[in-house]
Amino acid sequence: MNKKLPDMKLSFRWYGQDDKVPLKYIAQIPGMNAIVTAVYDVPVGEVWPRESIAKLKREVEAAGLAFEVIESIPVHEDIKMGAPARELYIANYCENIRRVAEAGIKCICYNFMPVFDWTRTETAHVLPDGSTTLAYYEEQVDAVNPLDSESDLTLPGWDASYSRAELRDIVARYQQIDEEKLWENLTYFLKQIIPVAVECGVNMAIHEDDPCFSIFGLPRIITNEKNLDRFLQIVDVPNNGITLCTGSLGCSGDNDVVKMAGKYAAMGRIHFVHMRNVALLPNGFEERAHLSACGTLDMYAIMKALYDNGFNGYIRPDHGRMIWGESGRPGYGLYDRALGATYLNGLWEAIDKQARQL
Ligand code: DNO
């Protein structure tokens, strides 16, 4: 039997028609294969209309790209908190898995971070070359108290759909939930959604917590190798996998991202990769250009570990800086992400050619 050669399906995140980056520009990036997107106009927890999914599919395919990856189907806070309404939200989640699978989706990225998704303290930190980037400085986080609704301080990644008072309430409700309770709620969720994913032939790919440590005393569990091992064992089937986000894991010097890339690829459990470089600082981190020399991570070694361990999945350049005068959604402009995509192509081609000569 021929061993299947490793394959990376290059992909790019697109936020739908409101995205300043048009699909036709994305399609011009060499080697671009698939679009990563979602239905954005439905409140978290509700069922996505079939027509919205079909429209996205038509738009993506009309640009010559594959409609195969969703990022994200968000998980309602009542599921994460284990509130009684989770029954309804889990049923809706299962229905969303079925609906996107019917439309040809192969991989669904999601996260299980309480309240806050990615958290940064600056979205336009100026780097020495004049480009701007996302950054996280501890002293700025320490100055914010989400339990104090009088405080007018907010952080850029916060969900704008919450008012200050709602945010305070939801953070307060989480004071009852420690890490073990969050594991229990995640287990309850996985045991219901993964069988549906198996039945539909879809890979679920949990995204690590970003950054991969607790903030504001909220529990965070998808943070390191030990916890990823535990996560994968909860439902030990290939469809229960991960999005390996190098930048999220790379926020902690304790994570050996190269080792994790190799180990989880060999297990066939990495379905999606977010490739991003970060510079670790004594007081936090800054997102940097993809090139290894620009940050702390060895991007070549990560790609090689994926390749050598038979990775067959989707990969996308993660956040880019803002360069060349571009303005837009922080982290999600065209230019620097396109440079990242081209760099990933170069790494992969070199690794692949070298491997075939051996
Ligand atoms: C940030 C993204 C995250 C990611 C979710 C996945 O730019 O990487 O928002 O999409 O955490 O559910």
Which amino acid type is present at position 148?
D
Q: Who's near 9: CB < 8 A, 6+ residues apart?
A: 33, 34, 66, 68, 313, 314, 315
| C-alpha–C-alpha distance, residues 260 and 256, integer Å | 6
Q: Who's near 173: CB < 8 A, 6+ residues apart?
A: 81
> Any idea what DSSP says for residue 12?
E
| C-alpha–C-alpha distance, residues 218 and 275, integer Å | 26
pTM given for the model: 0.95
Q: Do residues 104 and 115 lie in contact, with contact meaning Cβ atoms separated by under 8 Å? A: no
Spot the catalytic one: 78, 209, 210, 318: 318
Q: Label residue 179 left, alpha or beta by phi (over 0 means left) and psi (-120 to 50 means alpha).
A: alpha
**Catalytic annotation present for 125:** no
- Distance (Å) from CA 255 to ligand 1 centroid: 19
Chain length of the chain: 358
What is the dihedral sign for C-alpha 319, 97, 201, 81?
positive
**Catalytic annotation present for 274:** yes
Give the chain's count of helices (H) and strands (E). 12, 12
**Catalytic annotation present for 200:** no
**Catalytic annotation present for 94:** no
Residue in 37, 40, 93, 111 to alter for ligand 1 test, most ligand atoms within 8 A of Cβ: 111
Extract the tokens encoding 236. 């030990």
Extract the tokens encoding 190. 């996985």
| C-alpha–C-alpha distance, residues 278 and 251, integer Å | 7
| C-alpha–C-alpha distance, residues 347 and 303, integer Å | 7
Q: Who's near 57: CB < 8 A, 6+ residues apart?
A: 67, 103, 104
* pLDDT score of 158: 63
First to last CA, the chain: 19
Phi, psi of 160 (to 5 degrees): -70, -10
**Catalytic annotation present for 319:** yes
Residue nearest to atom 2 of ligand 1 (CA): 118
**Catalytic annotation present for 298:** no
- What CA–CA distances, in Å, run from 316 to 56, 120, 151, 156, 276? 19, 20, 37, 23, 9
Spot the catalytic one: 78, 89, 207, 335: 207
Extract the tokens encoding 309. 């361990």
- Distance (Å) from CA 108 to ligand 1 centroid: 12
Extract the tokens encoding 237. 């089937």
Please give the helix or strand (H or E) that residue 77 lies within, else none. helix 77-81
pLDDT in tens, 22-70: 999 999 999 999 999 999 999 999 999 999 999 999 999 999 999 999 9
* pLDDT score of 144: 79
Q: Which atom, in ligand 1's list, is nearest to the CA of 13?
A: 10
Residue in 118, 215, 271, 329 to alter for ligand 1 test, most ligand atoms within 8 A of Cβ: 118
In the beta sheet, which residues pair with residue 124? none
> Any idea what DSSP says for residue 322?
B
3-state secondary structure at position 268: coil
Residue in 210, 222, 243, 246 to alter for ligand 1 test, most ligand atoms within 8 A of Cβ: 210
* pLDDT score of 154: 61
Angle, to 10 degrees, between the axis of helix 225-234 and the axis of helix 257-266? 20
> Any idea what DSSP says for residue 62?
H
What is the mean pLDDT for each group of 10 consecutive residues in the chain (358 residues)?
A: 77 96 98 97 96 98 98 96 97 98 98 91 95 95 73 60 79 92 98 98 97 91 98 98 98 97 98 98 97 98 98 97 96 98 97 91
Q: How many C-beta atoms surround the C-beta of residue 201 within 10 A? A: 10
Extract the tokens encoding 193. 């959604």
- Distance (Å) from CA 118 to ligand 1 centroid: 6
